[in-house]
Chains A and B, each alone.
Chain A
C-alpha cells in the first residue's frame, strides 16, 4: 500500500472504531430484540459517508480498496454484525455495477450510491440454489423491457432503494436488470422473521409490469449467471470479515468474563478448560481473518479470488458458531441468558452458513477448484 493510502486507512479505521463504539455497539442488543435498526440509525450511517467507502472517488465516494473495505466491516462487526451485513449487501451490489455496468449506467446510478442503499436479489420462492429455476422475467416490448416477478429473502429488502434483479430474458438465458423502488409496478412484500442478524431487514420485492429501457440491463444479455456468481464472491469476502468481527466480539466477552470470575477459589483464567476454549476461539478467529484478507488481497491485485472467498465464508461461519458455543459455555448460565449477547452472536453467525450460498455449496466450489489444479 502506498504511504498515503496506509495513512488514510489508519484514519478511516480510527473513525470506524470510534463510530462503532459510540453509535453502533450501544444498540447491538436492542436491535436484536426490536428486529430493526433504531430510528435514524441508517440516516446517520449514510450521513457519515459509510455507503461510499468503496465507491470510487469519481462517483463521489471515498475509493478505498477491497482490503480496507473488508477490514472496516470486520471492525464494525465487533460492535454489531447486522450493520456490517447491511453494508456488505450494498457494497457487493456496487461491485457488480462497477464490473459490468456501462459507463452510462454507472454515471446514472453510482453517484446516488452515497445516499441510497443498493441490493442484489436472486432468490425466489421456487428455490434459491438453482438459478435456472427462477420464474421472474424480462420481456422485450419494442425499445423497452417489461419486468415481472417476485424476489424474496433480499438482504436490505425494504431498506434499499435500488435493486439488481436476476431475471430470465429467454427460457435458458439469465440477465440482470437494475430497478428502482420509485418505478411504477414496484412494491415491497413481506419482511422475513429470521433468528439472526435481526437488525438487517431481509425482505421481498414484487415487480408487476415494470418498464425499463435497455440502459438498465447490467452487462450483456445472458450475463446473469456470471454476475450472480461474482456477487457471491464479493459478498463472501466481506462475510469472512463480518465473521471475524463476530469472533472478536465473542472472544472479548469470554476473556473479560474469565478475568473477573472464579470457579470455587480458582480464577477462570487459571483453568485449563478455559485455556482450551479461548485458544480454539483465537485460532478460529485468526484463520478466518487470514482467509478473508488473502481473498481481498487477490481481488485488489486483479487475480482470481473465488475459491479463497468461499473458504473465508465456509470456514468462518462454522468457526464463529463454534466460537460462540465456546463463549456460551465459558459464561455458562450468563451465556445462556438473553441479558448477555453471546446467544445472539451465535444466531448471527449461523445466518452465514446459509446466506450467499450454503456451506455445502462452498465446499463443492472449493473441491471443484481443487480438481482443476
Chain B
C-alpha cells in the first residue's frame, strides 16, 4: 500500500514560485518522515516550467496540471481543479501558504470538501495521522492547537516565512495529472499588473525601515526612502520624528502610534524606549543599527550593527544594486 499523501499547493508569484511554497515543502518533508509522501501540486500553463523551482527542495513528487487558463484563473476555478485532484488522489492533508491567494482558495476548497481548515498556522505536527496545527489568535496573544479528527483531507494555511526553506540533494519525480477546467464566466480577471509595493501604510507593510532620532537628517531620510522602495516596504518612525514635516502620527511606530509586526524591520538610530518596543517587538525579523552598543533595541534584535546609521544605510543600499 502506498503511503498517504501530504500535499503542498504550489503558488505562483508573477513568473516564479512563491517562496512560502518552498518553505512548506521543507517543513512537510520534516513532518512526513517515512509515514507520508510529500506531493507538491502545481497548476501552471502549458509552457511554464515552475516545477524547476521546486525540485531542489526535494518533495517526493511534483504533480503538475497544465492548462493555459491557470495563470489567470479565479479562486473558484482553482478550487474546482483542486477538488478534482483531491477526489482522484485522496490526500491525507493539504498545506497552503497563508498568502492572499492561499487564504482565498483554501476556504473555497474547504467548503467544497466540507472539511476543516486551520488558518495562518505557525506550527504543524502529526500525532499519528492527525495533523495538529498551531494557530495564533487574538493578535498572536494566544496560541490554539487545532485538529480535524473526522474529516479528510485535513487543511491548513501557513504563515509565510514561518519556516526556512532548505534545498536538498534528493531528486523529485515530476508527474502530470489532468482535470477538467470549468470556467466560471461570472468572474473575469481583466488585468494583472506587477506592483513593487502594495503597502499603503506602515501598518500593512511587510517590510519596514524605521528611523529614530539617530537617523533624522534629511540625507538619511532620503536614503531610507530608497531602501524602503527596494525592499517593497514603508518608512516608519519613532515619536521624535513625527515632529518633522515629512512624517505624521500615521507613520509612528509604538504605543501611541502603530503596533506593527512586519516580516522584516530595520531600525536605524532608534535606541528602543519601551513605548517603541511594544509597537514592533513581534516583528518576524528585527535588525538594529545604532551607535550606542547598550541601546535596548539590541535586546530584541536578531541582527545588530553598532555604528553610524547613515554609513551602514549607504553601504546596504550600494550592495542592493
Tell me the A residues contacting B by CB distance below 8 Å: 25-26, 260
Q: How far is the CA of A25 from the CA of B252 in the complex (A)?
A: 14
Q: How far is the CA of A25 from the CA of B274 in the complex (A)?
A: 20
Q: How far is the CA of A260 from the CA of B256 in the complex (A)?
A: 15
Q: How far is the CA of A221 from the CA of B126 in the complex (A)?
A: 87
CB distance from B236 to the nearest CB of A (A): 15
- B230 interfacial by beta-carbon distance below 8 Å: no
CB neighbours of A260 from chain B (8 A): 274
4 pairs, A vs B, C-beta closer than 8 Å: A25-B256, A26-B249, A26-B256, A260-B274
CB neighbours of A25 from chain B (8 A): 256
CB neighbours of B274 from chain A (8 A): 260
* Chain B 229-264 per-residue mask, 1 if CB under 8 angstroms from chain A, else 0: 000000000000000000001000000100000000
CB neighbours of B249 from chain A (8 A): 26
Tell me the B residues contacting A by CB distance below 8 Å: 249, 256, 274
For B273, the closest partner residue in chain A by CB is: A260
CB distance from B212 to the nearest CB of A (A): 14
Going nearest first, the 3 A-B pairs with the smallest beta carbon separation are A26-B249, A260-B274, A26-B256
Q: How far is the CA of A26 from the CA of B249 in the complex (A)?
A: 7
Q: How far is the CA of A25 from the CA of B256 in the complex (A)?
A: 9
Q: How far is the CA of A25 from the CA of B255 in the complex (A)?
A: 13
CB neighbours of A26 from chain B (8 A): 249, 256
Secondary structure class of chain B's binding surface, majority of residues: helix
CB neighbours of B256 from chain A (8 A): 25-26
Q: How far is the CA of A260 from the CA of B274 in the complex (A)?
A: 8
Q: How far is the CA of A269 from the CA of B209 in the complex (A)?
A: 35
For A260, the closest partner residue in chain B by CB is: B274
CB distance from A196 to the nearest CB of B (A): 22
CB distance from B37 to the nearest CB of A (A): 52
CB distance from A41 to the nearest CB of B (A): 13
Q: How far is the CA of A117 from the CA of B186 in the complex (A)?
A: 52
CB distance from B287 to the nearest CB of A (A): 25
For B274, the closest partner residue in chain A by CB is: A260
Q: How far is the CA of A26 from the CA of B257 in the complex (A)?
A: 9
Q: How far is the CA of A26 from the CA of B256 in the complex (A)?
A: 8
CB distance from B295 to the nearest CB of A (A): 17
CB distance from B219 to the nearest CB of A (A): 25
CB distance from B242 to the nearest CB of A (A): 9
CB distance from B108 to the nearest CB of A (A): 34
Q: How far is the CA of A269 from the CA of B249 in the complex (A)?
A: 30
CB distance from A27 to the nearest CB of B (A): 8
CB distance from B203 to the nearest CB of A (A): 13
CB distance from A179 to the nearest CB of B (A): 38
Q: How far is the CA of A270 from the CA of B274 in the complex (A)?
A: 19
CB distance from B134 to the nearest CB of A (A): 31
Q: How far is the CA of A260 from the CA of B249 in the complex (A)?
A: 23
CB distance from A249 to the nearest CB of B (A): 13
Q: How far is the CA of A271 from the CA of B274 in the complex (A)?
A: 21
Q: How far is the CA of A55 from the CA of B313 in the complex (A)?
A: 57
Q: How far is the CA of A301 from the CA of B256 in the complex (A)?
A: 40
For B250, the closest partner residue in chain A by CB is: A26
For A261, the closest partner residue in chain B by CB is: B274
Q: How far is the CA of A150 from the CA of B186 in the complex (A)?
A: 71
Q: How far is the CA of A260 from the CA of B296 in the complex (A)?
A: 14
CB distance from A90 to the nearest CB of B (A): 26
Q: How far is the CA of A221 from the CA of B81 in the complex (A)?
A: 85
CB distance from B238 to the nearest CB of A (A): 13
CB distance from A259 to the nearest CB of B (A): 10
Q: How far is the CA of A26 from the CA of B242 in the complex (A)?
A: 11
For B239, the closest partner residue in chain A by CB is: A339
CB distance from A28 to the nearest CB of B (A): 10
CB distance from A331 to the nearest CB of B (A): 13
Q: How far is the CA of A117 from the CA of B256 in the complex (A)?
A: 30
CB distance from A161 to the nearest CB of B (A): 30
For B243, the closest partner residue in chain A by CB is: A30
CB distance from B86 to the nearest CB of A (A): 44
For B248, the closest partner residue in chain A by CB is: A26
For A27, the closest partner residue in chain B by CB is: B249
Q: How far is the CA of A25 from the CA of B249 in the complex (A)?
A: 11
Q: How far is the CA of A25 from the CA of B257 in the complex (A)?
A: 11
For B252, the closest partner residue in chain A by CB is: A26
Q: How far is the CA of A26 from the CA of B258 in the complex (A)?
A: 12
For A25, the closest partner residue in chain B by CB is: B256
CB distance from A39 to the nearest CB of B (A): 13
